[in-house]
Amino acid sequence: MSTGIANTPVGHGASPLAALIGPAVLPDRFSPALAMNIVRILLGLFYAPHVYQKLTGIEASLAFFAKAGLEPAPLFLGLAILCESAAFVALVGGFFTRWAGLLSAGCMVVAAYAIFATKGVNWYWAKGGVEYLVLWGLLSLAVAADAWRRTSR
């Protein structure tokens, strides 16, 4: 049985909200023996260069968001930076993993939409497609599902 936000057991007898939110941290969240921990940490680390690029190339990022139809671009850029930063911290740190995985998958859905809107429908990443985003999104869903499985026993 895991510990929830307020150190109350999550599982039998827990409040519905505590059961939905789940534990703040997973047991053994940094154990290399659990392959999904390695996947989770790597997925989180992949956000670092994306957030850095958005912060250091604000004008180019604003132009891309506007071209993708994500208007007002400053609002959507701010949301992207916020969501990607939260996914980075939560996935690397193993915080609220079930929700961090879903947040990460949601980021990839929006990113795939932006690629389709700016470059058209294409699969191959080397030609501006979405295969990397789909892989990242599916792995994010796998991390979320694993967190749910590990905490709902």
User: ∠ CA 20-8-147 to the nearest 5 degrees?
Assistant: 45
Q: What is the pLDDT of residue 100?
A: 97
pLDDT tens-place string over residues 110-123: 999 999 999 999 99
Positions of E strands within 56-107: none
The pTM score is: 0.85
Question: H or E element: which one contains 12?
Answer: none
Answer whether residue 70 shows pLDDT above 50: yes
Answer whether residue 87 shows pLDDT above 50: yes
**What number is the average pLDDT over the span 103-114?**
98
* C-alpha neighbours within 13 Å on the C-beta side of residue 39: 20
Region of 31 on the Ramachandran plot (φ > 0 left; ψ -120 to 50 alpha; else beta): beta
